[in-house]
Amino acid sequence: MRRFPVLLSLGLSGCTRAPLQDVLGSFFPSWMLCAAAGAVAASLLRAMTGMLGMQQSVPAPMLTYLSFMVAITFAVWLVFFGH
């Protein structure tokens, strides 16, 4: 019975620090900054396809831009926060 708290504390001691970033004095989770970068990149892609007149050739635009946002979000996470 006395081993359970010891085993539980060993299992919970693996984290070194929370992935927070200091932005203008406020701490934001790192995933939120990566998602913001992905959203900006997806909106820039949408603007570029609109300027080039290729908006009609994008299949399932909502899904395409969402997939692009997720891919950029994961790429930013891996580049800046991956170990």
Nearest one of 29, 27, 24, 17 to 83, comparing CA atoms: 17
Q: Is 24 left (phi over 0), alpha (psi -120 to 50) or beta?
A: left
Residue 10 has pLDDT above 70, yes or no: no
Residue 74 has pLDDT above 90, yes or no: yes
Percent of the chain with pLDDT over 70: 78
Residue 71 has pLDDT above 70, yes or no: yes
What one-character DSSP code corresponds to residue 57?
G
**pLDDT confidence tier of residue 22, bands split at 50, 70 and 90:** confident
